Amino acid sequence: MTDMRNFTLLHTPVALPYAIAMMILCPQAVAQEAVDTTLTIKESVISARVRPRSDGTGSMLITAGMVKEIPALLGDPDLVKTLQLFPGIQAATEGLSGMIVRGGGADENLILLDGVEVYTQGHILGLFSPFQSEAIGEVIIHKGAFPARFGGRASSILEIQSTDPFSSTNFGRNFSGCLGIGPLSDKLHLQGLNSKRNISYSVSGRGMHTLLMDGALRAFKVTGNFHFHDLHAKVENKIDDRNLLSVSYFSSKDNLYYKEEGSKTDVSWGSSMASASWRKNWNGGLSSDIILAFSGYSTGMGYKTTGTKRESLRTGLDDLLAKADFRFDGKKGRDIRFGAETIRHKFTPEADMLDGHTDRTIIKGLETSLYLEDGFTASSWLIINSGLRLSFFSTGGTARLTPEPRISVTAIPSNKVRTTLSFSRVSQYLHQLSSPVAALPVDLIVPVTGRVRPVVSDQLSLGVGYHVTQGLEISLEAYYKSSSNILEYKDGVMFIDDFEAWEDEVASGLGRSMGMEFLVRKTTGKTKGWIGYTLSKSERRFQDGTISGGNWFPSRHDSRHNLSVVLNETIGNGWDVGAVWTYSSGGAVTIPLEDGSMPQRGNHRLPPSHRLDLSANHHKNRRIGEVIWSFGVYNAYNRKNPNLVISIQGDDDPGPGSLKTISFLPVIPSVSYTRVF
């Protein structure tokens, strides 16, 4: 049998999907000149309305309306790319939808959809996020002091609440929706309620055009196809004023196939979630939320040549979750929360399949947590939020218990000034192993073991906000974060080709990041917008000397300067226009030497990335609803930012070879149509 694992890791899940998708979507982009450098980093800094809450620094609220105001690639509003415009958040790679929060890894972000974690890479491995803007109600991101009710990830918590038909049904009717047609995909959103039975529903779906174009592509001798779909549905039953039942479902999947010279390769990846919840308002100010859910993700690849049996490799993770959250709204400004959560993880890090026979590796783990949180309004100018979370993880006879204290103190000396000082400790029991050479798609998720400890991160934050005048705000926030038990491959290791020995191929070390985030934002008038700037630094050190001789080195996502400018203008006659300009200094990457040896990590800096996006929207009212035409230009001055880094290898060279960057997001105009009814 061919070594399917090596073939998959070196050739397919990243480079091939991007190449094929770009050949289909932007064939002219793939032909652009490639330069010998490495991975790119992009960060933009913007603001949103800072929610007046006692959770601490770094908590921000955005809405679906804000997402729709930002100029979007191919006219498709993108939640994650909007989040990248917040202070302290950057894209893992220029132009893509991954998130790097305050120097942490992409795996250190917890994404909660209606209270349940969803694992997702986004479409085309991150070019578009899977969350349709019409399905989104309220979104809150925590990147500073986390409330004690959240845990499991070391960098950020992203809360996404589905749209609520009970409060958002349009035009005074019990039914509404919208239909959208764009250059990349079509979408449909329906929502409504039955007021007699107190039942509401919301259904959103999106699909890529190429799903229906197989025949046409074959007729033009195109040897591959790529398509994706999203489905998000929610049903609620308001039994009475004290009881609410809801059921949610989410699915996102990408599929790719490619044929050449007697061989066929197919790749798929996706995530899904299903949950049932019961919200109860008890007597005396006590309320509760009970959730039962399933969540998981999988990636897979198949390969077949003429005259041989089909080989495939699949990896995945499945979770079963049960949690209970209680809240007590006491008198005298007291807000007490407590609860428990348990998750059964089932890891499938590798599964080789040949002609129906499966050789599968399965690892099970149990993650349990208890928390108590106390929000106390001490006076008209002082708010204190303190809490403790106890997290426990067991697998393979190994158990870990981690206490996680949290505290946040907010002082409001006047109507114009707000200051918050906070500290939080968080732990993470899942590790994502990534190659030091970004070109190799070898990311692997593994649990803590007897030899591998959980990531533990401490963060101290200080923020000051100043309300200049009505609609004009300025804020400044500083943070310092230290982490322990961060995993990376040892020097000379590019990927793991024998999972049973993975613990021997990694090293455990320290991480630290620090930064200052500044923004000024105008929220009223015909002209709105904001300017944001972030100065940050992120480093790692492995004291045993297995990486970079035990010295501090910049992390993969270390980018010093990040600047963004956002403008929105209402010009009348149904027209509004927008512009976003972003700048990010070059990230740190590692280039192996010609003999394949690994030098000092972060030995190369990429050039800066910057671009200008423009949009114009025309709204036309109808008897019911409205028609919206959206026009946009992505990367208006055609900046050739490196969007993808791949490894170039000769047929007789098993080593890392040389690297090159590819810019596949040139200037891209778009027009889309939306009918709201």
- Higher-pLDDT residue of 308 and 673 is 673
- Report the chain's mean pLDDT, rounded to a whole number: 80
User: In sequence order, what are the beta bridge partners of 200?
Assistant: 193, 236
Least confident of 382-396, 475-489, 531-545, 637-651: 637-651
Instruction: Tell me how far apart the 2 most distant CA atoms of the chain are, in Å.
Output: 78
Least confident of 218-222, 624-628, 632-636: 218-222
User: What is the predicted pLDDT for the residue at 43?
Assistant: 33
Query: Is residue 123 predicted with pLDDT exceeding 60?
Result: yes
Give me the number of domains the chain comprises: 1
Residue 500: exposed, middle, or buried by beta-carbon count in 10 A (0-12, 13-18, 19+)? exposed
Q: Which tens digits make up the pLDDT trace of 640-667?
A: 887 665 555 544 444 444 556 667 788 9
Separation between Cα atoms, residue 315 and residue 351, nearest integer Å: 6
205 in Cβ contact with 231 (< 8 Å): yes
Q: Which tens digits make up the pLDDT trace of 242-252?
A: 999 999 999 99
The mean pLDDT of 505-532, rounded to a whole number, is: 90
The mean pLDDT of 503-516, rounded to a whole number, is: 89
Least confident of 25-34, 127-136, 273-282, 298-307: 25-34
Least confident of 98-107, 180-189, 290-299, 552-561: 98-107
- Higher-pLDDT residue of 257 and 514 is 514
User: What is the predicted pLDDT for the residue at 359?
Assistant: 62
User: What is the predicted pLDDT for the residue at 292?
Assistant: 97
The mean pLDDT of 554-583, rounded to a whole number, is: 91
User: What is the predicted pLDDT for the residue at 416?
Assistant: 92
Query: Is residue 46 predicted with pLDDT exceeding 70?
Result: no
User: What is the predicted pLDDT for the residue at 78?
Assistant: 84
DSSP string covering 399-415: EEEEEEEEEEEEE--SS
User: What is the predicted pLDDT for the residue at 581?
Assistant: 94
Separation between Cα atoms, residue 547 and residue 25, nearest integer Å: 40
Q: CA nearest 162: which of 199, 116, 193?
A: 116
User: What is the predicted pLDDT for the residue at 241?
Assistant: 87
The pairing of strands 417-428 and 398-411 is antiparallel
8 sits in which H/E element = helix 4-11
User: What is the predicted pLDDT for the residue at 106?
Assistant: 80
Separation between Cα atoms, residue 13 and residue 5, nearest integer Å: 12
The mean pLDDT of 226-247, rounded to a whole number, is: 91
Residue 524: exposed, middle, or buried by beta-carbon count in 10 A (0-12, 13-18, 19+)? exposed
The mean pLDDT of 178-197, rounded to a whole number, is: 87
Separation between Cα atoms, residue 674 and residue 620, nearest integer Å: 11
Question: Of 70-79, 115-124, 232-241, 584-593, which has the strongest mean pLDDT?
Answer: 232-241
Query: Is residue 55 predicted with pLDDT exceeding 50?
Result: no
State the residue range of the domain holding 507.
Answer: 4-676
- Higher-pLDDT residue of 349 and 634 is 634
The mean pLDDT of 345-350, rounded to a whole number, is: 81
User: What is the predicted pLDDT for the residue at 157?
Assistant: 92
Q: Which alpha helices (DSSP H) does 180-274 contain, by range? A: 214-219
The mean pLDDT of 36-42, rounded to a whole number, is: 31
- pLDDT-based confidence at residue 35 (cuts at 50, 70, 90): very low
User: What is the predicted pLDDT for the residue at 451?
Assistant: 85
User: What is the predicted pLDDT for the residue at 388?
Assistant: 96
Return the SS3 of 669: strand
217 in Cβ contact with 210 (< 8 Å): yes
176 sits in which H/E element = strand 175-181
Which pTM does this prediction carry? 0.84
- pLDDT-based confidence at residue 13 (cuts at 50, 70, 90): very low
Q: Which residues contact 203 (CB under 8 A, 6 or more apart)?
A: 189, 190, 191, 231, 232, 233
The mean pLDDT of 549-555, rounded to a whole number, is: 88
Assigned token pair, 86? 């917040």
- pLDDT-based confidence at residue 303 (cuts at 50, 70, 90): confident
Query: Is residue 673 predicted with pLDDT exceeding 60?
Result: yes
Least confident of 299-313, 480-494, 642-656: 642-656
Phi first, then psi, for residue 389 (nearest 5°) are: -120, 130
| CATH assignment of the domain containing 201 | 2.40.170.20
- Higher-pLDDT residue of 25 and 587 is 587
Q: Which residues contact 270 (CB under 8 A, 6 or more apart)?
A: 251, 252, 253, 254, 297, 298
- Higher-pLDDT residue of 507 and 148 is 148
User: What is the predicted pLDDT for the residue at 37?
Assistant: 32
User: What is the predicted pLDDT for the residue at 654?
Assistant: 43
Separation between Cα atoms, residue 388 and residue 2, nearest integer Å: 51
Polymer length of the chain: 677
- Higher-pLDDT residue of 640 and 1 is 640
The mean pLDDT of 382-409, rounded to a whole number, is: 92
Percent of the chain beyond pLDDT 90? 38
Separation between Cα atoms, residue 444 and residue 500, nearest integer Å: 13
- pLDDT-based confidence at residue 49 (cuts at 50, 70, 90): very low
